[in-house]
Amino acid sequence: MSLKLGIAFYAQQDNRGRPTSPHWALVAHPHSFLAPDVQVYQIRQNGPNGWHLAPHVCGLIAAPTLIGVLHIADISGLSIKHIESIVAPLPATKNRDDPSGNIVWGCAGWVIRVMDRLVKAGYIRLPKGAGIDQVYDIAGRRVQVLKTVPKSTQAPLAIIPLFG
């Protein structure tokens, strides 16, 4: 039992068509992010009603706005069912529980909250000297690199390490 874990980033635009910060989603699969059945854990804004959980299964390659994936870790001893038991009880709203340290709550904060639970449970380790409150800035720099990775038929999805 092993699981590949990453953060998928999707391009977004504001209501005027201008690029905004990318959407974050936690992605997991036992073998490959290229599989047709990758588990996607995310929150979505529900208009004036705030945030809601919006998990689903899909092939990441088919997502037209996908920028790519920052690979967090290959985790032995963790299954999809196990990660679901960690993710399911976490609300989509901030609820005074935001280890990201960001001022504004959103999809990035929620993904970092899940990562924090996985770090505390001993499933993933942050690099020496890095704290969970630094993941947002680290990921922001890595997404800029991710955007430059060329895609091809052999590599249809840009995947680089989060901590690289």
Q: Residue 18: its pLDDT value, please? A: 93
Q: Residue 33: its pLDDT value, please? A: 97
Q: Residue 47: its pLDDT value, please? A: 75
- pTM (2 d.p.): 0.95
Q: Residue 1: its pLDDT value, please? A: 79
CB contact burial 74-89 (16+ within 10 A = b; e otherwise):
ebeebeeebbeeebee
Q: Residue 139: its pLDDT value, please? A: 97
Query: What is the C-alpha separation between 104 and 161, in angstroms, rounded?
Result: 25
Q: Residue 144: its pLDDT value, please? A: 96
DSSP three-state, residue 95: coil
- Per-residue model confidence as pLDDT tens for the chain (164 residues): 789 999 999 999 988 989 889 999 999 999 999 999 999 999 999 877 789 999 999 999 999 999 999 999 999 989 999 999 999 999 999 988 999 989 999 999 999 999 999 999 999 999 999 999 999 999 999 999 999 998 888 889 999 999 98
Q: Which amino acid appears at position 164 of this protein?
A: G
Report residue 85 as tokens.
Answer: 């038991």
Q: Residue 160: its pLDDT value, please? A: 97
